[in-house]
Each structure stands twice: as C-alpha cells, then as structure tokens.
Structure 1
C-alpha cells in the first residue's frame, strides 16, 4: 500500500484538475469559479498576445518616425501622417485579439440571486452587464489600438 500512494495521489490530482477544468469553462454559468477561469484565460491568453502586438506596433512607430525640423514638431509620434501607417498590422492584430476576448470570454449571464433582502452592494453587483473582471482591460486595449 505504501508503494502505490504517490501514484494514487497523482491520479487523484489529475482527476480533480480535470473535473475543475471541465466544470468551469462555460461563459453561460456565472459562478465564482467560471469568473476566475474566464478572467485567467482572458488575461494570460488573449489579452497578453494583443498587448504584445500593441507594444510592437508602438515600437515600430517610434523607430520609424523621423522629425521634420522645418515644421512644427508633433507632441505624439502618431500625430505625423507618415508615422500613422506604421505598425498598423500590429494594431489590427491587437484589435482582433480584443474582439476575440469579448466574443469568447465575456460573461453576461446573471448569477443566481441570494434569497432574502439584498444590500446596496449586492444590488449593484446584480445590475452589472459584464461579470468577467478583466474585460475592462481588454476594452481599453481596443480603444488604444
């Protein structure tokens, strides 16, 4: 029995992990587990790749920009008409990633209500339109790109 204990523990860990992953992947169910999972996936899959593409686009604009000292020097690099087009494919990729996050990881389903009277904080929580706590960062990324 002592020899099989590590194998049994690892098998049990795999079963528990698989059960948790299968049970929390849906955006249709609004539970604490599904909110955590969707927020985690949004942050470390979709948002990360979109944010990296955005950074590459900004870096391409900064490297490709040349100041014309005969005219008024713009405050921001993007103000120059020639620089605006640089890095646009990276910005498009960032927008696509933000749209993908909104489409696949947005939790709009209302959670199950508590019984009894609700506090003002609970009423505000149930009145929300988006329950994925990381989606506001995705929306800001889309606006920046």
Structure 2
C-alpha cells in the first residue's frame, strides 16, 4: 500500500490463513498503481511483472512453490487515485461552499473516496445537510 513496487491494495489473504487453505488458489496480486512506470518502466514485460508478483507472494505470504498457472494482465488507468493535495483541495472547496451557503453538494468518487461505500456515505451526508439533519 502506497509504496513503490508493492501491491496497490495489497495481498488480501494473510499468511496464517493460507496454511489453513493449502489447496486454495493464490490470491491475485496487484502491482504498481500510481508508481507503475517508476517501478517497472514504460515497457514492462509480462515476464518482469510475473517475476515481481511471485516475489511479492513469496515475501508476503511465505509461499515458496512456483504456481502451476499464471495469468498476467495489465489494466491501465483502471483504479482511480487522487493526486497529491487532493484532500486539502476538496476540504477548501467544501468550506467555500458552506461559507457562501451555496446550494451545491459534491458527491461521488471524485471527492470523498473511490469505493461504493464512500459514495453512499457522502450522498447520505449531503441529503442530511439538505434536510437539516445533523451527521
């Protein structure tokens, strides 16, 4: 999370659970995110990505055997990531809207979190403000 060369979103299954599920398939590995080119270069090969993913699985889950099947896919620009200073900008915009008492609510993945749950929470908060209900 947030570190060049590490999984964006991490590896979902902790090593201690992996031992309890010896026949379960290994989890997917997500690499790169905003650091993709910095970590792998502009023309990262599937072989390089596979090598890095297998190293991450060995290091983070303690799995030594080579997998019997691997699929490498590169999805570009598929997971939204905020730029540096995003939260400060959105807070400044929110303060401005409140100070000016503008009838405008900013909701959705661009403002207060990219997950569906974040979007629902920001929509509920906006409706609550419109109805004069405290948080």
TM range (shorter): under 0.3
Higher share in helix: 1
- TM, length-normalised to structure 2: 0.25
- Select the structure of larger CA radius of gyration: 1
Q: TM-score, normalised by structure 1?
A: 0.24
